[in-house]
Structures are given as C-alpha cells and as structure tokens.
Amino acid sequence: MLTILTKLFVVILFWLLLKDASVRRRIGFYKMVGVSNLKLLCFLFLIDCAVSLIFIFLIKGFA
C-alpha cells in the first residue's frame, strides 16, 4: 500500500511539472497526438503500478 501511495505522490509531482509552461514546451509530444494531461498521468500511474507490483511479486517469490 505504501508503494502505491509513493507512486501517486510521484504522479502528483509530475502533474505539477506539467503545469509549468517551459517544461510543457519541452515535453509537448503527447499534446501532438491529442492526449490530455489527465490521461497521460493515469496511464503513467497504471504502468508504474503494474511494474512495481510485478517486481514485488517476484521478490516475494524468491524470498
């Protein structure tokens, strides 16, 4: 549970970065394909959670 909350915190920090105009200009590739900020953040959060959970299950399997 702590892992998921940490990931959520990282996504919130990324969202704050996206609000900054200079950062948005540098990583504007996702806007070109029509992806909103919310969709991008949700997608990144889900991928990050999936990778973290797989890693945790692998560690528990060998422990």
What's the CA gap between 7 and 5, in Å, rounded?
5
Tokens of 21: 């105009």
Q: What is the pTM of this model?
A: 0.59
Q: Give the pLDDT score at 3.
A: 72
Q: Tell me: the pLDDT tens digits for 41-60?
A: 788 888 888 888 888 888 88
Domain that holds residue 34: 2-62
What's the CA gap between 37 and 18, in Å, rounded?
8
Q: Tell me: the pLDDT tens digits for 6-39?
A: 777 887 877 777 777 666 666 666 667 777 777 8
Whole-number CA gyration radius for the chain: 15
How many distinct structural domains can be found in the chain? 1
Q: Which residue has the higher pLDDT, 18 or 61?
A: 61
Total number of residues shown for the chain: 63
